[in-house]
Structure 1
Amino acid sequence: MDDEPQIDIAALRRDRPLEVALWGPQSLVGRIVTWVFVFASACHLWLADAWQLEWLFANVVYLVGLALLCWRKAAVGWLLSAVGLAIPLFFHRDQLTQSLILLLFASTAGFSLIFDALRQTAPATTDSGTSGRQDPADMRLALGEWTFLSVFRGVTVVTYLLAVLHKINREFLDPQYSCAVYGLDELFTYWNLPLDVLPMPMMQLAPWLVLLAEGGIALFYLLGRRHVAWTLMAAFHIPLTLTMAPAFVFVMLVGHAAFLRLEDVSRLRAVLARHWPILGMTAALLTTASLLAHNNLPEWTMIPREWLLWGLLLTLSVAFPLWKKETWRPDRAPHPKPPRRTRLWPVVAVVGFFALNGLTPYLGVQYQHAGAMVSNLRIDRGCWNSLVFPESVRLTEDYIRVEETYFAEPGHIVEYEQIVLEQLWSPPQFRQMRRNWCRDEVRPFYLRGTFRGREFVIEDLCAGEPLPFADAGVFGVEIFGDYLRFQKNLERECPQTCIH
C-alpha cells in the first residue's frame, strides 16, 4: 500500500545481513515466486505417492519449511523444504521428476540467500511494496535473489526441452503406442466422449502437436516472448492435469512465475481488478461443464485446481491477447538487472547439472528424474527406440530380467509368477517386492535371472540375505538402496503402449 512504512533494506543488509536472508526475497517477483512454490509444494504433497507412513518424517520437515516460508523465514524455510524433498527421493523410491525440480528450486534458493548474506555482496535494493508500480530500485536485484530466479527460469526451459528430446522416438511418434494418443484417450474418457468423434488425421497429428506445444513453450521463452509462452503453457497443461499429471503444472508454475516482471504484475492486477467477476464466473462455468461431462466427482482438490487453471488461461488471454501484435513482438520491457558483482557459475552449474541429468537415460544410468515422463522412451536392450541417439552411446544396461521364479513351489501363484517374468526390474523394486510379498506361506520365493549380463540365483528372497546387486550403483557402489533409477511396470516386450 502507498502509506506502508518503507524499510531501509540498504541499512539492514549492511548491519544485519543474516536477518535479511531469513526474510527472503525483497523484490515483488521474488515474493510471488515464493508463494507459488508454497502452493506447488502443497499440491505435490497431496499426491497419493506421498501418503505413505515412511514419508511421514520427511513430509513434516517439508511442511515446517513451507510454514517458515509463509512466516518470512525464507532461507531456513527453503532449506528445510529441500531436506523434506531429498529424503523420499533418495531413501523412499520417489519416482517423480517434479521432486527433483522442486529440490533444485528449494536448495538453490536457500543457499543463495545464505551465501548472499554471509558474503554481503549484494548492492542495496529497495522493497517495491505491494502497489505494483515499477519502482526503479527494484530493477537491480540482490545477488542471491538474482541467482535463484535465474536458476528457476533455466530449469523451466530445460524441462520442456528435455521433454521434447525424449519424445523423439519411434513409439511416441506412432499413434498406435504414443503417450500423446493415450493422453487424448484419457481426456475423452474423463469427459465421457468417444474418441472416434475426432477425425483420423487428428489422431495422427497428436504426437506432433504435443512436441510443438512443449517445444514452443521453451522456444518462446528463449525468443523473449514470455507472454505467448504463458498462454501456451496454461492451455497445454489443463488436459494434462485432468488426466495424468495433477500436480506437475503447479510445480512448473514456480519457474514460469520467475519470468514475471513488474509491468506484468501491474497488468495482471489491472485485469483482475477490472474483470475478476466475469473471469471467475467463466472459469467456474468451464469447470462445471467439465465436471458435468465427467459425470462423477473427482478427487475434491481437483475442482479448485481446475478452476484456477481455467482462470489463469482466461486472465492471460485478456492481459496478453494473442491476437494483438505487441504480444508477439520481442520483449523490450525493462529487465531486472543482475547485481554489479554477478556470479554466473552457480546458475550455469545448477541448470547444467539438470540438463546433463536429463541425458542420463541414453547412457543407461537412469530413467526416472530425467524429464522422460510419458515419453514412450525405451533404453533397455532390444527395445531402444530413440531417433536422436544411437544405442551405442549406452554405457550400461542395469535392468534385471527374471527367467525363472516361483512362490513355495512352481505354479503355486501363477499370476504373480507371470508378473515377475514379464516385467523389467531394478534392485529397489526387488527390495519393495520383498516387503510387499513375503509371507511364510509363499516361501521360498525363488528367483533366477540375469543382471548386467551375468546370471544370479536367489534361493529365497524372503530370507533377507543381501541381494546379488551390490555393484548396482552408478559408480559401482549402491549408496542409496531405495533410490529408484528405473521405470516401474515396464514390460520386457516391446513396443508397448504408454506407461505412466
Structure 2
Amino acid sequence: MIIACLLGAALLAHELLYLARDGGEYLRRCFVPTLGLRLRSRTHAVLHLAFMAACVWMTVQPSSPLAHLAVFSLLLLVIASYSLRVSNHLVLALFMLAVILLADCAALFGVPRAESQAVQAVGVQWLVILTYLLAFTHKLNRGFLSLDGYAGALAAFVCWDRDVRDPRLVDRIKSCSIVSTLVCELAVPVLLIAPQTRGVGMLVGIAFHFGLALVGIVNFSAVMYAGLAAFLPWAAHSDWPALPLDATAAVAGVAAVALVWLVTPHRANWNLPYRHRGPAWVIQTVFGLLTAWFLLAVAQTFADPGAADHQVPAGLWSPLALVLGLFAVNGLMPYLGVKTEFSMAMFSNLHCAKWNHLVFPARWRLWDGARYLTVERIKGLPSSDELDGDQAAELAWTVLSQPGAFEIRPYFFFEALHRVCVAVRRPVTVVASVRFDGREFIVWANPKSTPESMRPAGFPRWRRLNLFPSVLPASVDAPHSEQGSVLSADRDRQLF
C-alpha cells in the first residue's frame, strides 16, 4: 500500500511540476512523440488530465487493483505520446506498476495477501537496485567525468545561483558533485542488498535524492522514494506505520522545509522559466515534509532490522524474473547500440553516436543505430516572430535556423520542418539541403506536406521512435547534458 500510494503521488507531482513550468502548453503539446503515438492537442490534454485523476485515485486508494491498472494503462499511453524525450523515472514507474499488477493477479488467483504483497515489495526492491547499478555503469564515460558534463554543469548552475564566482572553488565543487554521484549510486545498491546494512543504504539514498530535489529534480527523486519505501519493514503491510508525532518529528519537518527554502535555486527562472512558480514551491515543500517522514520511518528500522524480509512464493519467481529481466535488458540497450533513451542513463552524457564509455569498447556493440543528419543549407524559413507562441515550433525553428550547428535525428528533422510550416499563418516553402550517410538530399516542405511526404527519393525510411537524443551539438566542445543543449534565440531560455 505504501509503495502504490507514494508512486501515485510521485507521478502526480511529475505532471503538476511540468504543468507549473510550461502551463497549458504541457497538456496540449505532442511533438516528436517518443513511441510515435501522435495525438491531437485536445486528445493529448484529455489523456494527461485522465492520468492525473488516476494518480489521485491510486494515492487515495493505493490498495485498489483497478486504480493500479488505470495508472499503468494511462502511463503507457503518456510514454508513447511523450514529446521528444521521455523521463527515465516514468519508465521505472511503469515497471514498478507492472510488479504491483503482478501482485494483484497473484491475489486474484488465491495467493495469500501477505505473499502477494511480498512479491510487490521484493520486485520493487530489485528494480531500485538495478536502477542504481545501471545508472552507475552508464556514467563510466568521459562525458560524465568531464567537469563540463551533466554533474559539472549542474554544480556550476548551483554555484551561479549562489554567487560563487571563484573558478578554482567552482571546479572543486564540480569534482565533488561528480565523485559523490558515482559513490552514492554504487554504495546505495550494495548497502540495500544486505539486510544488515539496509537502513544505512536507505539513509544514503534519501540524502542523495533529497540533494537532487533541492536543485530541482523532484519528480525523479519522488519516484525513487516510492521505490526505497519497498525496503521499509512494513512495505508489504496494508496500513501505514504509526510514527510518533513528537518534538523529533517537528524538528525533522522544520529542518527539511527550511533546507528546501534555503537551498533550492531561487534564480532558476534564468534557465527554465516557470509559468506558475508558486505551485512548484508547494510541491518542493511537500517533498521536504515527505523526506522528514522517511527519515523517521528509517530510524524505526534500526530498532527492528530483520522485519523487512519478505518470502516470495516459488511459483511467482518466474513472472517476477521476467519483469526484472525486461527492465535489465532495457537498461543494457546502449551497449547493444540499440538506444540510449529511457535506458536508465540518467544524466550520464552517454551517447551511442560518439561512444565514450571507459569500460565497454565500441567494437563490442552489435549494432550502430545512432544515425544523424546535418543541415547544410536552408531557405524559406519564416521569422521566429511568426511562430505565434508555439513552443514546439520555436524549438524546431531554433534548430533548423542554425545549419551545421546540430546533428539531428531524421525523425526530429522532418517533424520539425512540418511543425514550423504549419505554425505560421501564411504559405511558406522551405528548401533544405541535408547530408545523411555521406549523401546529400534536397528536402521541400510547405504547410500541406506531411513529415512522411517530405522524404526525398533515396532517403531511408525512419522509425517514429525516440531511441537516441533527437538533437546533439555538432561541436565536440559544445556543452551537452541530459537536460538538453538547445537555447532560445535570445539564449535566455533552455528549449531542449
Fold match by TM threshold 0.5: yes
CA distance in 2, matches of 1:461, 1:150: 54
1:349 corresponds, among 322, 325, 342, to 322
CA distance in 2, matches of 1:197, 1:403: 39
CA distance in 2, matches of 1:312, 1:363: 39
Q: Which SS does the other structure have where 1:51 is aligned? A: helix
CA distance in 2, matches of 1:92, 1:208: 32
- Would the aligned equivalents of 1:446 and 1:461 in 2 still touch at CA under 8 Å? no
Distance 1:264 1:355, change over 3 A: closer
Q: Which SS does the other structure have where 2:278 is aligned? A: coil
1:52 corresponds, among 10, 16, 27, to 27
1:303 corresponds, among 259, 265, 281, to 281
How far 1:169 sits from its partner (Å)? 0.6
How far 1:164 sits from its partner (Å)? 1.0
The answer as to 2:64 corresponding to 1:77 is no
AA in 2 matched with 1:348: A
How far 1:102 sits from its partner (Å)? 1.5
- Would the aligned equivalents of 1:403 and 1:421 in 2 still touch at CA under 8 Å? yes
Distance 1:112 1:188, change over 3 A: same
AA in 2 matched with 1:247: N
1:113 is aligned to: 104
- Would the aligned equivalents of 1:167 and 1:377 in 2 still touch at CA under 8 Å? yes
CA distance in 1, matches of 2:400, 2:93: 38
How far 1:354 sits from its partner (Å)? 1.3
2:492 is aligned to: none
CA distance in 2, matches of 1:362, 1:237: 27
AA in 1 matched with 2:453: P
Matching of residues 60-459 of structure 1 within 5 Å: 60-69=49-58, 70-71=60-61, 74-93=64-83, 94-117=85-108, 119-120=109-110, 122-123=111-112, 125=113, 141-143=114-116, 145-175=117-147, 177-194=148-165, 196=167, 198=169, 200-224=171-195, 225-262=197-234, 269-290=242-263, 299-311=277-289, 313=291, 332-380=305-353, 383-394=354-365, 395-408=367-380, 417-438=400-421, 439=424, 443-451=428-436, 456-459=441-444
2:10 corresponds, among 20, 33, 40, to 40
How far 1:304 sits from its partner (Å)? 3.7
Query: What is the TM-score with the length of structure 2 in the denominator?
Result: 0.76
- Would the aligned equivalents of 2:51 and 2:74 in 1 still touch at CA under 8 Å? yes
CA distance in 2, matches of 1:295, 1:169: 28
Distance 1:257 1:441, change over 3 A: same
- Would the aligned equivalents of 1:187 and 1:242 in 2 still touch at CA under 8 Å? no
AA in 2 matched with 1:100: V
AA in 2 matched with 1:408: G
Distance 1:412 1:181, change over 3 A: closer
| Residue ranges of structure 1 left out of the alignment (5+ in a row) | 1-30, 126-140, 473-477
Q: Which SS does the other structure have where 1:284 is aligned? A: helix
The answer as to 2:466 corresponding to 1:484 is yes
AA in 1 matched with 2:277: E
Distance 1:428 1:359, change over 3 A: same
AA in 2 matched with 1:107: A
- Would the aligned equivalents of 2:12 and 2:56 in 1 still touch at CA under 8 Å? no
How far 1:79 sits from its partner (Å)? 1.4
- Would the aligned equivalents of 2:253 and 2:289 in 1 still touch at CA under 8 Å? yes
Q: RMSD across aligned C-alpha pairs, in angstroms?
A: 3.7
The answer as to 2:453 corresponding to 1:466 is yes
1:18 is aligned to: none
- Would the aligned equivalents of 2:399 and 2:406 in 1 still touch at CA under 8 Å? no
- Would the aligned equivalents of 1:406 and 1:445 in 2 still touch at CA under 8 Å? yes
How far 1:194 sits from its partner (Å)? 3.5
CA distance in 2, matches of 1:82, 1:304: 26
Q: Which moved more, 1:282-291 or 1:398-407?
A: 282-291
Q: Which SS does the other structure have where 2:479 is aligned? A: coil
The Cα offsets for residues 401-420 of structure 1, whole Å up to 9 and x where unpaired, read as 12433132899999755535
How far 1:336 sits from its partner (Å)? 4.2
Q: Which SS does the other structure have where 1:81 is aligned? A: helix
The Cα offsets for residues 274-320 of structure 1, whole Å up to 9 and x where unpaired, read as 52222223333333433697699982234344434544555566665
How far 1:456 sits from its partner (Å)? 4.2
CA distance in 2, matches of 1:388, 1:461: 47
Distance 1:390 1:104, change over 3 A: same
| Residue ranges of structure 2 left out of the alignment (5+ in a row) | 29-40, 386-396, 484-496
CA distance in 2, matches of 1:200, 1:71: 48
AA in 1 matched with 2:91: L
1:15 is aligned to: none
The Cα offsets for residues 246-299 of structure 1, whole Å up to 9 and x where unpaired, read as 311001111111111139999974454452222223333333433697699982
The alignment covers a number of residue pairs equal to 435
AA in 1 matched with 2:419: N
- Would the aligned equivalents of 1:148 and 1:347 in 2 still touch at CA under 8 Å? no
AA in 2 matched with 1:63: M
The Cα offsets for residues 331-350 of structure 1, whole Å up to 9 and x where unpaired, read as 95134432544421222111
Q: Which SS does the other structure have where 1:459 is aligned? A: strand
How far 1:386 sits from its partner (Å)? 0.8
Query: What is the TM-score with the length of structure 1 in the denominator?
Result: 0.75
CA distance in 2, matches of 1:113, 1:160: 26
How far 1:355 sits from its partner (Å)? 1.4
CA distance in 2, matches of 1:498, 1:292: 21
Which has more radius of gyration?
1
